[in-house]
């Protein structure tokens, strides 16, 4: 069957990060994840204690390669990625915790070497909507004139009840206020969403996609909720397991969510990487390629493609 989605080089019926890299820069953009010296206001007590109930301490993909010298850390980690993609375009990705949490001077000191390093073509900064004041936004916007700056904002859901249950420490309005401030800058925005929160219905998850798909953002990451060891949620699950989405349910929900998004939003991720040794459930998330393939098949089966129902969600 012919692929009806126009921003695709293959069978994908959504705008992939690969498509974005290849059509704009002729190659794949490789994000080198870094573990910087940041914390999170939802863990250290400023906003909350204990963090989001699913959080196991920020995301650090390479705990063994966590040199305090961040440039050294970048080159150590880059070597691993560039064995696989020697012609990739390197972006540095400040991934762990909230990477705009702290005084502006600290941020400048950390980011400046990566701004000056000419081989690094872009900077991706993962953070929370309550960690971006006007001063920081102005500074980050000034950097966009040197190289692309992406802000990755964790939202997870538009439903305040869910955000409270997750212990996010901010509501949807706080996220919207930050989007409003960012929208008149050159900073690119990526939003992180979680599907499968136990008290959310399919309708609620679709509503999240419909609302976020209308915002002035450039990218979205979808994740299935991971229940990990040594987390508040993991402890609760170990005491009394609760029902989670099956792979088939997740695949169907994501396929439908994609159809409600604006067609020019880049889909950076369709499912997350759970750390095998820490994951309690759902175990099907470990087979990431199979989840992505099933989403592709489901979109064909339901005759869906990104943006198909966008006008109906406006
Ligand atoms: S905002 Fe991020 S780092 Fe902070 S507690 Fe939540 S998941 Fe963890």
Closest CA to 196 of 247, 237, 245: 245
Question: What's the structural domain count of the chain?
Answer: 1
Q: How far apart (Å, rounded) are the C-alpha atoms in residues 178 and 140?
A: 14
Which amino acids bring their CB within 6 angstroms of ligand 1?
A: 40, 42-43, 51-52, 55, 58, 97-98, 128, 154
311 pLDDT tier (thresholds 50, 70, 90): confident
Say what the pLDDT of residue 59 is. Answer: 56
Its domain, for residue 258, covers 17-307
Q: DSSP 3-state assignment of 6?
A: coil
Q: What is the tens place of the pLDDT at every residue in 77-129?
A: 999 999 999 999 999 999 989 999 999 999 999 999 999 999 999 999 999 99
Residues above pLDDT 90, as percent of the chain:
89
- Mean residue pLDDT of the chain comes to 94
Q: What is the tens place of the pLDDT at every residue in 267-297?
A: 999 998 777 889 999 999 999 999 999 999 9
Q: What is the tens place of the pLDDT at every residue in 198-227?
A: 999 999 999 999 999 999 999 999 999 999
Classify residue 44 by its DSSP letter: B
Classify residue 131 by its DSSP letter: G
Please tell me the distance between residue 128's alpha carbon and the centre of ligand 1 in angstroms. Answer: 8
Classify residue 226 by its DSSP letter: P
Closest CA to 80 of 152, 30, 18: 30
Which CATH number covers residue 297?
A: 3.20.20.70
Please tell me the distance between residue 122's alpha carbon and the centre of ligand 1 in angstroms. Answer: 23
Q: Is residue 10 part of a domain?
A: no
Max Cα separation, the chain? 54
Closest CA to 198 of 162, 250, 167: 162
Which ligand 1 atom is nearest residue 168's CA? 6
Closest CA to 190 of 218, 209, 164: 218
Mean pLDDT across 158-170: 97
Q: DSSP 3-state assignment of 107?
A: helix
Please tell me the distance between residue 297's alpha carbon and the centre of ligand 1 in angstroms. Answer: 33
Please tell me the distance between residue 35's alpha carbon and the centre of ligand 1 in angstroms. Answer: 14
Whether 189 and 217 have beta carbons less than 8 Å apart is answered as yes
Residues above pLDDT 70, as percent of the chain:
97
In this structure, the chain runs to a length of 314
Q: Is residue 195 part of a domain?
A: yes
DSSP letters spanning 231-289? SHHHHHHHHS------HHHHHHHHHHHHHHS-TTSEEEESS----TTTEEE-GGGG-HH
Say what the pLDDT of residue 165 is. Answer: 98
Whether 154 and 165 have beta carbons less than 8 Å apart is answered as no
Residues contacting residue 30 through CB under 8 Å, at least 6 positions apart: 81, 82, 85, 88, 89, 90, 91
Q: Is the pLDDT of residue 60 over 90?
A: no
Q: Is residue 163 part of a domain?
A: yes
Query: Probe ligand 1: pick from 40, 49, 226, 275, max atoms within 8 Å of CB?
Result: 40
Q: Is the pLDDT of residue 20 over 80?
A: yes
Q: Whose CA is nearest to atom 3 of ligand 1?
A: 97
- Write the burial class of residue 273 (CB in 10 Å: 0-12 exposed, 13-18 middle, 19+ buried): middle
Q: How far apart (Å, rounded) are the C-alpha atoms in residues 139 and 88?
A: 28
Q: DSSP 3-state assignment of 220?
A: strand
Q: How far apart (Å, rounded) are the C-alpha atoms in residues 113 and 109?
A: 8
Q: Is residue 312 part of a domain?
A: no
- Write the burial class of residue 18 (CB in 10 Å: 0-12 exposed, 13-18 middle, 19+ buried): middle
């Amino acid at each position: 069957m012919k692929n009806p989605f126009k921003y695709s080089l293959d069978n994908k019926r959504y705008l992939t990060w690969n498509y974005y890299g290849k059509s704009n820069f002729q190659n794949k953009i490789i994000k080198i994840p870094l573990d910087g010296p940041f914390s999170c206001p939802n863990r250290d007590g400023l906003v909350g204690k204990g963090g989001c109930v699913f959080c196991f301490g920020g995301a650090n993909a390479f705990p063994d390669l966590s040199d305090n010298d961040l440039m050294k850390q970048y080159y150590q980690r880059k070597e691993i990625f560039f064995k696989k993609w020697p012609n990739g375009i390197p972006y540095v990705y400040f991934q762990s915790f909230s990477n705009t949490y702290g005084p502006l001077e600290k941020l400048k000191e950390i980011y400046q070497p990566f701004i000056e390093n000419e081989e690094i073509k872009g900077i991706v900064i993962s953070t929370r909507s309550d960690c971006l004041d006007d001063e920081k936004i102005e500074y980050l916007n000034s950097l966009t004139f040197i190289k692309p700056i992406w802000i990755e904002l964790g939202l997870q859901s538009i439903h305040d009840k869910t955000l409270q249950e997750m212990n996010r420490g901010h509501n949807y309005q706080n996220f919207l206020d930050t989007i409003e401030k960012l929208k008149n800058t050159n900073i690119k925005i990526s939003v992180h969403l979680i599907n499968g929160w136990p008290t959310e219905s399919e309708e609620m998850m679709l509503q999240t996609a419909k609302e976020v798909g209308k915002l002035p953002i450039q990218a979205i990451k979808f994740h299935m909720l991971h229940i990990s060891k040594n987390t508040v949620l993991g402890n609760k699950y170990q005491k009394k397991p609760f029902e989670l989405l099956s792979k088939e349910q997740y695949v169907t929900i994501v396929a439908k969510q994609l159809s409600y998004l604006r067609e020019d939003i880049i889909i950076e991720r369709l499912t997350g990487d759970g750390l095998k040794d820490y994951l309690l459930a759902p175990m099907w998330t470990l087979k990431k390629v199979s989840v992505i393939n099933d989403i592709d098949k489901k979109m064909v089966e339901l005759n869906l493609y990104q943006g198909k129902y966008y006008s109906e969600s406006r």
